[in-house]
Amino acid sequence: MPKSRTSKHRIESMLERISVRENIRLMEVCGTHTMAIARFGLKQLLPASIQLISGPGCPVCVTAQEDIERVLILAQNPRVLITTFGDMVRVPGSTGSLQEMAAQGANVRIIYSPLDAIALAQNNPNKEVVFLAVGFETTAPTVAMALEQAQKLGLENFSIVCLHKLVIPALIALLEDPEIQVQGFLCPGHVSTIIGTYPYEFIPKKYACGCVVSGFEPEDILESITLLVEQIKNNNFQVQNQYVRAVKPEGNKVALSLIEKYFEPTSVYWRGLGKIPQSGLKLKAPYVKFDALRKFNLVDVEVKVGPTGCQCGQILKGIKKPDDCPLFATICTPSSPVGPCMVSSEGACAASYYYRGGEVIAR
């Protein structure tokens, strides 16, 4: 049987299995899932009784505004060369964005790996090369590798702004929030390749909430939704691994050991979720020399964040949808974003903007 026909049959079969009358709320907590769901019009395939809501799965989006402001202060220093992944340069702050500062002469480079920042530090000994370490457990091991390389080379002009976040504490915060009522999570595939499936086990046991680790193809996501719906229908909550081709129960032990060597958990602020205990990473004591905010005395600097009208915080909690925001697709667009959910390629607002109603808007 041709593959396309087999796929069509599987999709039809899954849609039959998820036909339910009672209302079900499921949350995806991965920005890549959010974009894939929008891109392939999966919400339009689901029965009206199943609501998919986007959670705080975009690392750029959940970075606290206060952290953005400190980075912008750092970028004003002519000795500093800021290196970052692409999405971060466009996140707006009170004085503009890194992209706008670069246009005015600030030293800002988009790179594709933390190791690129190491090379820049070697080639620019008169600059302090700072890497913005943004991301979940997925990117933390690569930053740890860069730190290991800097340590071996004895680089004194390389440092990081550690903005890493941890998924499990965020899930606890969501589950403990009375405003957020979800019956199942599509757990992030990329993060789970690092941490495995074991860390999710407490969720069905303590909160009677379903968990499925999902891949990123449309059939992966539909199958994961089907598994979640069947857990809810049968009142049989558990952790299931749909993404078995990439995720092991124990995770990636090498990557986890790298994270453990250089970082330790700390309480940090998330946009929309507030301060979550032990939900971020900070450098361990032997490596604080690589902390850029310490080097430039910005750790305790108070920054003022004024109101913008942006609803990113509520959207990241799944309380509001992007088009509930009065700024959506009018004042706030990808070319002129007010909030980070419209900036990032994994942001819920960007996904809704580009794929409104299942229709692809020109990019």
The reply to whether 79 falls in a domain is yes
The reply to whether 11 falls in a domain is yes
Domain end residue (candidates: 266, 284, 308)? 308
Domain end residue (candidates: 308, 326, 343)? 308
Q: Do 285 and 352 share a domain, yes or no?
A: no
Supply the pLDDT for residue 244: 98
Model confidence at 99, in pLDDT bands (50, 70, 90)?
A: very high
Q: 218-233 and 31-39 helices cross at what angle (nearest 10)?
A: 100
Q: Do 72 and 142 share a domain, yes or no?
A: yes
Q: Do 214 and 340 share a domain, yes or no?
A: no
Residue 136: strand pairing partners: none
Supply the pLDDT for residue 345: 84
The reply to whether 256 falls in a domain is yes
Given a cut of 60, is residue 357 above it in pLDDT? no
The reply to whether 363 falls in a domain is no
Q: Do 318 and 200 share a domain, yes or no?
A: no
Supply the pLDDT for residue 22: 86
Neighbouring residues of 153: CB distance < 8 A, sequence distance ≥ 6: 118, 122
pLDDT in tens, 62-75: 999 999 999 999 99
Q: Do 238 and 318 share a domain, yes or no?
A: no
Distance CA 75, CA 195 (A): 33
Average pLDDT over residues 227-247: 96
Instruction: Tell me the residue range of the domain where 343 lies.
Output: 312-358
- Predicted model pTM: 0.92
Q: Do 205 and 348 share a domain, yes or no?
A: no
pLDDT in tens, 286-342: 999 999 999 999 988 888 776 678 899 999 988 999 999 999 999 999 999 999 999
User: How many domains is the chain built from?
Assistant: 2
Model confidence at 359, in pLDDT bands (50, 70, 90)?
A: very low
pLDDT in tens, 158-204: 999 999 999 999 999 999 999 888 999 999 999 999 999 999 999 99
Neighbouring residues of 315: CB distance < 8 A, sequence distance ≥ 6: 54, 272, 321, 322, 324, 325, 341, 348, 349
Supply the pLDDT for residue 72: 95
Q: Do 82 and 14 share a domain, yes or no?
A: yes
pLDDT in tens, 75-95: 999 999 999 998 899 999 988
Q: Do 24 and 121 share a domain, yes or no?
A: yes
3-state secondary structure of 143: helix
The reply to whether 354 falls in a domain is yes
Q: Do 250 and 331 share a domain, yes or no?
A: no
Amino acid at 341: C
Distance CA 7, CA 13 (A): 10
The reply to whether 108 falls in a domain is yes
**Domain containing 2 — which CATH number?**
3.40.50.11740
The DSSP line for 96-111 is B-HHHHHHTT--EEE-
Neighbouring residues of 90: CB distance < 8 A, sequence distance ≥ 6: 97, 98, 99, 337, 343
Percent helix, strand, coil in the chain, to 5, is 45, 20, 35
Q: Do 228 and 214 share a domain, yes or no?
A: yes
Given a cut of 80, is residue 273 above it in pLDDT? yes
Q: What proportion of the chain, given as a percentage, has pLDDT over 90?
A: 82
Supply the pLDDT for residue 1: 36
Q: Do 299 and 317 share a domain, yes or no?
A: no
The reply to whether 196 falls in a domain is yes
Average pLDDT over residues 249-261: 98
pLDDT in tens, 121-171: 999 999 999 999 999 999 999 999 999 999 999 999 999 999 999 999 999
Q: Do 121 and 174 share a domain, yes or no?
A: yes
Domain end residue (candidates: 308, 328, 346)? 308
Q: Which range has the worst mean pLDDT, 39-43, 162-166, 306-310, 355-359?
A: 355-359
Model confidence at 4, in pLDDT bands (50, 70, 90)?
A: low
Given a cut of 50, is residue 360 above it in pLDDT? no
C-beta atoms surrounding 323 within 10 Å: 13
